[in-house]
Homo-oligomer: A and B are copies of this chain.
Amino acid sequence: MKASVRDSAILCQRAAVQVAALSTEARNALLCSMADALQAQVQAILAANAEDLRLAREKGIGEAMLDRLALDEGRVRGIADAVRQVAALPDPVGRVTHRERSEKGFTIERVRVPLGVIAMIYEARPNVTADAAALCLKAGNGVILRGGSEAVRSNRAIAACLHGAMRAAGVPEGALVLLDDLSREAMLELVQLSDIVDLVIPRGGEGLIRFVTEHARVPVIKHYKGVCHLYVDAQADLDKALDILVDGKTSRPAACNALETLLVHADVAATFLPRAVATLRERGVELLGDERTRALCPSMAPAGEDDFAAEFLSLKLAIGMVDSVDEAIAHIRRFGSDHTEVIATEDRGTADRFVQALRSAVVMVNASSRFSDGGELGLGAEIGISTTRLHWYGPMGAEALTIERFVLRGDGQVRHAESRR
């Protein structure tokens, strides 16, 4: 008999208390043996994955999805290495972020504690199973995973390795739940367990994320899409700007931190655009331009409002021309997704204006939007990227899976003197 979603979640909540109580060393050792188990059982994982792939092909699933689903020995080693990297990160749990002595003589500390139980809802990529488990356990949490149906056998094989390592370490397996029931009803039940689940992180297509957000009774952290902008200012170093543009658009166009829109200051458009257009076309990028851009580069297709709001996730770029940094800011405020924006400029004042006026999760000066990533920003690994401007904003690592609370140590202090003996 399958355990119900609620029963599994209750067990997870109880087990999470035991994970939280582990020492830093014990939690890190657990993660290392999870990584070892993944590598030791690589053949079982690959066999399960082959079956997932066979069925996916039968269903006629597209190549991009098949690529995300497919594992080989190298990829499994990569998954295990990622878990080891999480083990090597500093422990966010117990970190004292603030300490002061009150005038009344007690000390006040702010100390990080685990969130509790985290539910992760995701699609085809089986590596998320190990990544999310590692990050959640690292931060002392229980985790409930609801993967995609295409990856069900791969996910089960990975979870079996992780559970084996937990058993061997004496950590209750219930702290890591891989949901068996992949129905919509079970997912609904999961995201409405407001007395048990502390946070839901959906990762995948916009449809999945909207469904979760709409139905959740539990806090949700997510990003719908990444419409990332590069603004090339009149004071830009155009060589740097071109590097940043090419890297942002072409190094991995399907990533959420890839560029979707280029805005160019009119003063440098005549110099920059022809070079940019030639370089991008050489690399197979399809270009769409607004009216002024097309006046300069008539071979370009027209870009409409929908194009400026779109996350292409492919070798496609919308280009607009502006007369000032303020016009660029206004465009980004209107069409942006609060993910990542870049300015190329050598003028410090213009850079500051851009940084301060935009409230996106990641704002960059003279660097590629592709650095908007947990690993690159020093978080070690990421469980997702938040454009929810609450709790965490931007790439989320282990620290984002904890919360600061207050610890006060006194010597018998009371608030009202009349309470004294």
Q: Which residues of A pack against B, CB within 8 Å?
A: 17, 20-21, 94, 100, 102, 104, 106, 108, 113-116, 194, 198-199, 213-214, 217, 219, 237, 239-240, 242-244, 246-247, 250-251, 279, 333, 351, 355-357, 359-368, 370-372, 376-378, 388-395, 403-416, 418-421
Contact across chains for B414 and A247 when beta carbons are under 8 A apart: yes
Contact across chains for A106 and B371 when beta carbons are under 8 A apart: yes
Determine the residue in chain B with the shortest Cβ distance to A415: B370
Cross-interface CB contact of A414 among B100, B244, B420, cutoff 8 Å: B244
A279–B418 alpha-carbon span in the complex (Å)? 12
Minimum CB–CB distance from A281 to chain B (whole Å) comes to 15
Q: Which of A359, A404, A408 counts the most chain B CB atoms within 10 A?
A: A408
Contacts A237-B412, A412-B237, A419-B250 given; indicate if A405 touches B115 (C-beta within 8 A).
no
Cross-interface CB contact of A243 among B403, B405, B419, cutoff 8 Å: B419
Contact across chains for B115 and A389 when beta carbons are under 8 A apart: yes
Contact across chains for B362 and A243 when beta carbons are under 8 A apart: no
- Copies of chain A in the complex: 2
A362–B403 alpha-carbon span in the complex (Å)? 12
Contact across chains for B378 and A100 when beta carbons are under 8 A apart: yes
Contact across chains for B359 and A412 when beta carbons are under 8 A apart: no
A357–B392 alpha-carbon span in the complex (Å)? 25
List, in ascending order, chain B residues with CB within 8 A of A113's CB. 359, 389, 393
List, in ascending order, chain B residues with CB within 8 A of A368's CB. 413-415, 419
Contact across chains for B419 and A366 when beta carbons are under 8 A apart: no
